[in-house]
Structure 1
Amino acid sequence: MLKPVRTLITIALGCSILAGCATAPPEQPDNLCEIFREKRDWYDAAADMRDKWGVPIHIPMAIMYQESSFKHNAVPPRDYLLWIIPWGRVSSAYGYSQAKTPTWEDYQRETDNGWASRDDFDDAI
């Protein structure tokens, strides 16, 4: 009897820890200065991107705002069969950048960063 309770407590604790790792979207997503005040490490990642690729910071931030609203786990809407049966997603886009799977795989290969993740802001920007 004690073992199932211990298992449930362990699972609940593990889920709580993982939920704490998720990044919430900024409170004021339409104000770039406030975003960087709230999430200072995002500015560092954006500045690194600017230095590496020569793209002004506001451009990819505007794209992310439009595509994912700065949600790390953003996905496109579901497609439905006969208007009621969920039938997958309309595309494989995912994460901050909303990059499709083949495009993201190209990025990983060309940057030699197989560990890059679409739901990690540092990688997605």
Structure 2
Amino acid sequence: MANLPIIGSIVVLGGAASVGGVAMELSKPKGRNISLAKNKKPSPFKMPTRCEFFAIESSSAQTVKKIEESKLQAEIKKQGDTSLWEQLDKYCNVDWKIYVAQRSPSGYKKWVYEKDDQIKPWKVIP
């Protein structure tokens, strides 16, 4: 390029610059709108809208079974302990999993919630 006259150098350089400019223009996105595809299938990673309740089957084996909220609520109300259900409802707004047990401190089984049970590594059984 050193042997070319000044006008030839400008044309050659200008042509390269314009080709580069066209490539840059073609690579720009056409619009600023970003459209997301709507997925009508349910996500396999969907988080529960409310916590899940688990009944402790065996403390020594560290096994639990899932229990329906409505069933647990009915059984707790049947034992006459509305404060326990209010407590569970409050914890349910904070934690994803609530572990409860039927224990018999006074001779008959009743549902109880204990903080120590919440941190144990439970195994869910069918």
**TM, length-normalised to structure 2:** 0.26
**TM, length-normalised to structure 1:** 0.27
Whichever structure has more strand as a proportion of its residues is 2
Whichever structure has more helix as a proportion of its residues is 1
Larger Rg: 2
Higher relative contact order (CA 8 A, sep 6+): 2
